[in-house]
Amino acid sequence: MRRFKSLPLLLLISFLLISTLIGSAQEKVKIRAVTYFTGEDPWTAVWQSVIKDFMKRYPNVEIIDEATPTSGDLIRTKIKTDYASGNEPDVAFFFVGADAEPLLKTGKVYSWDEELEKDKDWGKNFYKGALEFCRYKGPIKEYDGKIYALPTIGFYEGLFVNKDLFDKYKLALPTTWTNLLKAISTFKAKGIIPIAGSILDSYYLIETLVLSAGGPEGHNTPFHPSWEAGLEYIKKLYLLGAFPKDALTLKDEQARELFYEKKAAMMINGSWCVGGLKDKLNTVIMPVPVIPGGKADPTDIIGGFGSGWYVSKELNEKKGGIPAKFVKYITSPEVEAKFIAVGGVPAIKCKVENVSPAAQTGYDMMEKARTVSMPIDAQITPEAFTYIRTNLAYVVTGKKTAKKLLEEARKIHESAKQ
């Protein structure tokens, strides 16, 4: 009889246990993550594997991937709108510099200084110089001197060269402007696109040519007179036929494919392209040569750490620190090595196996650089830079002067800063 009397108790315990398990399964912590690792982005596969690995380690966590492309400033629009409307994601991989200001003004961004100090085993892996790119120095007192994002993938911009095409036509590498002009003339005559460049998505053409014209001082001074010269030299290249015939409407990813397929001899782009190269043996990466009368040193480049991992202060607290825990996992040496194996410059000490010859030339270029300057969109408001980029077509086709375009962009910059 005793055995039967205990049966209801056992059933009750079993019911409670099952209910607890079901409840636990239903109460997953959901983390919204916004990055630009989507579509053709070279780090997309790594990002997706990182999400899976983290959820496997922590079955009670669900990462909701809201990756948004950079093209058309889609990710800028999404992140800024989400923060402004109180719908900020738990985690975001987003631009630093001028782009950080609207986010920091909301007071919703988590600062990492305390965690870096508390968890020294993790924090010591960051290169100090990389962290400085994410340290705020501005008028928002709450964040003054604070690290508001964590860098992982550094970058450089430069001239990518299909060396085998140069060898085929016995051309010297374009280390000087004279060599570049000769290469453009030769490849054009041979039916090969000299430079796979997009005027529509002209980020890197603008930044590197402005640096070439004004050197670091001119480049890093908003609307310096040398900016006009930089834009005028893009026009000169356009009129020489250096770019694809449809450069005015061509997307950056389409331009890259022309270079990857060796339909173009050169392209001006960034380290994120290394992962997409189909011939990593015969691709060389070097600084864009200095224009005649330019103030840059031949080794000066655009680069740095232009993006970082942001965490929502409020959501991190509500969700028991899991958003920060996820970012700490992403910024571990083991995960960093996976990202850098695809491309980029590490912000975290890690061991990357089997570096390709092409990637090595990029690392060498950055190591030899006299100066490394952040892009123009870190110097001026995104609205102003977007205006320059999207209206450059009027300059290269002679419908507007570079001086006029920059005057208009300056007004947008000053208005957006107010």
Q: Which of 295, 330, 346 is the last residue of a domain?
A: 346
Query: Within a domain: residue 312?
Result: yes
Cβ contact 398:335 at 8 Å: no
Sign of CA dihedral 180, 185, 186, 189: positive
* Distance between CA atoms of residues 105 and 257, nearest Å: 39
pLDDT band at 161 (very low <50, low <70, confident <90, very high): very high
Cα gap 264→242, rounded to integer Å: 10
Give how far the C-alpha of residue 385 lies from the chain's centroid of Cα atoms, to the nearest Å. Answer: 16
Sequence-distant (≥ 6) Cβ neighbours of residue 94 within 8 angstroms? 34, 75, 79, 100, 103, 149, 307, 308, 310
Judgement on whether residues 171 and 220 belong to the same structural domain of the protein = yes
Name the pTM for this structure: 0.75
Q: Which helix (H) or strand (E) holds 105?
A: helix 100-105
> Considering the domain boundaries, does residue 160 fall inside one?
yes
Tell me the chain's radius of gyration from C-alpha atoms. Answer: 25
**Whether 136 contacts 144, CB under 8 Å:** yes
What lies within 8 Å, CB to CB, of 14 at 6+ separation is none
9 occurs within a structural domain = no
Question: Are 320 and 237 found together in one domain?
Answer: no
Classify residue 354: in a domain, yes or no. no
Q: Is residue 281 part of a domain?
A: yes
Number of domains in the chain: 2
User: Both 168 and 134 in a single domain?
Assistant: no
Q: What is the CATH number of the domain that holds 314?
A: 3.40.190.10
Q: How far apart, in whole angstroms, are the C-alpha atoms of residue 150 and residue 93?
A: 9
- Evaluate if residue 1 carries a pLDDT over 90: no
Give the tokens for residue 262: 């060796």
Q: Are residues 120 and 63 in the same domain?
A: yes
Contacts of 405 (CB under 8 A, 6+ apart): 231, 387, 388, 391, 392, 394, 395
Closest CA relative to residue 161, chosen from 304, 296, 279: 279
Q: Tell me how far apart the alpha carbons of residues 95 and 134 are, in angstroms, rounded to a whole number.
A: 10
Q: Are residues 239 and 277 in the same domain?
A: yes
User: Tens of pLDDT along 4-29?
Assistant: 445 455 545 555 554 444 444 558 99
Which range marks the domain in which residue 73 is found?
A: 29-148+306-346
Q: Are residues 177 and 104 in the same domain?
A: no
- Whether 92 and 223 share a structural domain: no
Same domain, 329 and 220: no
188 with 235, same domain? yes
Q: Give the Cβ contact number of residue 300 at 10 Å.
A: 23
Contact 256, 270 (CB under 8 A): no
Together in a domain, 213 and 281: yes
Would you state the pLDDT for residue 409? Answer: 98
What pLDDT shows up at residue 20? 47
pLDDT given for residue 26 in this prediction = 56
Same domain for 269 and 246?
A: yes
Say which residue the tokens 């890690």 belong to.
350
Angle between helices 226-239 and 402-417 (to 10 degrees): 130
pLDDT at 312 exceeding the cut of 90:
yes
Percentage of residues of the chain with pLDDT beyond 90:
84
pLDDT digits (tens, 9 = 90+) for 251-266: 999 999 999 999 999 9
Q: Is residue 3 part of a domain?
A: no
Residue 109 is given by DSSP the state: B
For residue 6, is it within any domain? no
Q: Are residues 274 and 399 in the same domain?
A: yes
* Domain contains 365: no
